[in-house]
Amino acid sequence: MLSFLPPTPSEMMETLKTNFRQRRKALGYTQSELATRAGVSLGSLKRFERFGQISLESLLKLALVLECLGDFGEVCGEREVLPKSIEDLLD
C-alpha cells in the first residue's frame, strides 16, 4: 500500500482489532475479564479480535474500559482544509 493513500475499511478494521487486542493484553485483561467489565458478550469480543466485526456500541464500551474512548472524539472532526492544487497553495 502506498503511504499517502488513506486506509481501506478492511485495513482499518485490521488495525483496530490489533490495537484493541494489544491494549487489552497490555492492561492485563483476559478476553473474559474485558467482556465482563465492558458489558459486552464474550462472543462479540472474540469475533471482534478475530474478524474485526463488532457493533459501534460494543466497540465504544470496550474503548471505555481500555481507557481510549476519548480517541473516538476525533473521528470526523474538523480538519484543516488542504489546497487542491499548486495554484491554491501559492495564492
**Whose grid coordinates read 487542491?**
84
What cell numbers appear for 76 in the block? 470526523
Using alpha carbons only, give the angle 79, 22, 26 rounded to the nearest 5 degrees: 110
pTM, whole model, 2 decimals?
0.81
Closest to 60 in 3D by CA, of 50, 73, 47: 73
Question: Helix, strand, or coil here: 36?
Answer: helix
Cα–Cα distance for residue pair 79/91, rounded to 1 Å: 20
Q: Give pLDDT tens digits for 55-68.
A: 999 999 999 999 99
Q: Give pLDDT tens digits for 8-45.
A: 999 999 999 999 999 999 999 999 999 999 999 999 99
Q: For residue 89, name the pLDDT band (cuts at 50, 70, 90).
A: low
Query: Please, what are the domains in the chain?
Result: 9-69 (1.10.260.40)
